[in-house]
Chains A and B, each alone.
Chain A
Amino acid sequence: MKDFINRIGLPRFIIIIFLIFLMALAIYLNIPLSDVITDILVRFGMNAILVLAMVPGIQAGIGMNFNLPLGIICGLIGALISIEFKLSGFTGLFVSILIALPLAAIGGYLYGKMLNSVKGQEMTVGNYVGYSIVSFMCIFWLLAPFKSPELIWAYGGNGLRVTVSLESSTSHVLNNFLAFKIGKVTVPTGLLLFFAIFAFLVWIYSQSNKGLSMIVAGSNAKFALSNGIDVDKQRIKGTVFSTVLAAIGIIVYSQSFGFLQLYNAPLYSAMPAAAAILIGGASLKRATIVHVLIGTILFQSLLVVALPVINVIAEGTMSEVIRVIVSNGIILYALTREGGSAA
Chain B
Amino acid sequence: MIVPIIFLIICIAGSFFTGLPFSFLFDEMVIRLARNLILVTSLILPVITGLGLNFAITLGAMAGQIALIIITNYSIGGTTGFFLSILISTPFAILFGYLVGRVLNKAKGKEMITSMVLGFFANGIYQFVFLLLCGTLIPVKNESLLLSNGVGIINTIDLANIKYALDRLIPVTKYPIATLLVSLLVFLFLHFFLKTKLGQDMRAVGHDMEIARVSGINVDKTRIISVIISTVLAAWGQIIFLQNIGTINTYGSHEQVGLFAVASLLVGGATVERASWKEALIGTFLFHLLFVISPLAGQNLLGNAQIGEYFRVFVAYGVIGLSLVLHAWEKNKARTRLREIKE
- Confirm or deny: A136 has a beta carbon within 8 angstroms of a beta carbon on chain B: yes
Q: Are B120 and A131 in contact (CB-based, < 8 A)?
A: no
B52 vs chain A, min Cβ distance (A)? 8
Bound Cα distance A174, B318 (Å): 37
Q: Mark A118-161 against chain B: 1 for CB-CB distance below 8 A, else 0.
A: 11110111011101101110110011000000000000001000
Bound Cα distance A66, B110 (Å): 14
Q: Are A335 and B132 in contact (CB-based, < 8 A)?
A: no
Q: Are B314 and A118 in contact (CB-based, < 8 A)?
A: no
Q: Are B311 and A139 in contact (CB-based, < 8 A)?
A: yes
Q: Are B314 and A142 in contact (CB-based, < 8 A)?
A: no
Residues of the A chain whose Cβ atoms lie less than 8 Å from the Cβ of B103: 332, 336
Residues of the B chain whose Cβ atoms lie less than 8 Å from the Cβ of A331: 117
Residues of the B chain whose Cβ atoms lie less than 8 Å from the Cβ of A317: 127, 131
Bound Cα distance A192, B152 (Å): 40
- Confirm or deny: B106 has a beta carbon within 8 angstroms of a beta carbon on chain A: yes
Residues of the B chain whose Cβ atoms lie less than 8 Å from the Cβ of A329: 121, 124
Q: Are B124 and A343 in contact (CB-based, < 8 A)?
A: no
- Confirm or deny: A271 has a beta carbon within 8 angstroms of a beta carbon on chain B: yes
Known contacts A158-B304, A325-B128; is-contact A135 B318 (Cβ 8 Å): yes
Interface footprint category on B: 35 or more
Q: Are B120 and A328 in contact (CB-based, < 8 A)?
A: yes
Q: Are B132 and A136 in contact (CB-based, < 8 A)?
A: no
- Confirm or deny: B118 has a beta carbon within 8 angstroms of a beta carbon on chain A: yes
Q: Are B314 and A136 in contact (CB-based, < 8 A)?
A: yes
Bound Cα distance A134, B316 (Å): 12
Bound Cα distance A138, B107 (Å): 33
Bound Cα distance A215, B116 (Å): 28
Q: Are A335 and B110 in contact (CB-based, < 8 A)?
A: yes
> A-B contact count, CB below 8 Å?
132
Bound Cα distance A317, B250 (Å): 14
Bound Cα distance A302, B104 (Å): 28
B56 vs chain A, min Cβ distance (A)? 11
- Confirm or deny: B324 has a beta carbon within 8 angstroms of a beta carbon on chain A: yes
A204 vs chain B, min Cβ distance (A)? 32
Bound Cα distance A158, B112 (Å): 37
Known contacts A125-B321, A324-B127; is-contact A142 B304 (Cβ 8 Å): yes
Known: A314-B132, A332-B103. 10 other contacts (CB 8 A): A117-B329, A118-B328, A123-B113, A125-B321, A125-B324, A135-B318, A321-B132, A324-B124, A325-B124, A335-B117
19 residue pairs from A and B, CB less than 8 Å apart: A118-B328, A119-B328, A120-B332, A123-B110, A124-B112, A129-B321, A131-B320, A136-B318, A142-B307, A158-B304, A315-B132, A315-B151, A317-B127, A321-B124, A325-B124, A325-B125, A328-B117, A329-B121, A335-B107
- What residue of chain A has the Cβ atom nearest to residue B125's Cβ? A325
Q: Mark B309-343 against chain A: 1 for CB-CB distance below 8 A, else 0.
A: 01101101110111011011101110000000000
The 10 closest A-B pairs by CB, nearest first: A343-B110, A118-B328, A324-B124, A325-B124, A128-B321, A328-B121, A121-B328, A135-B314, A131-B317, A336-B106
- What residue of chain B has the Cβ atom nearest to residue A271's Cβ? B120
Bound Cα distance A78, B311 (Å): 24
Q: Are B116 and A127 in contact (CB-based, < 8 A)?
A: yes
Residues of the A chain whose Cβ atoms lie less than 8 Å from the Cβ of B328: 117-121, 124-125
- What residue of chain B has the Cβ atom nearest to residue A114's Cβ? B325
Residues of the A chain whose Cβ atoms lie less than 8 Å from the Cβ of B73: none
Residues of the A chain whose Cβ atoms lie less than 8 Å from the Cβ of B322: 132
- What residue of chain A has the Cβ atom nearest to residue B327's Cβ? A121
Q: Are A332 and B152 in contact (CB-based, < 8 A)?
A: no
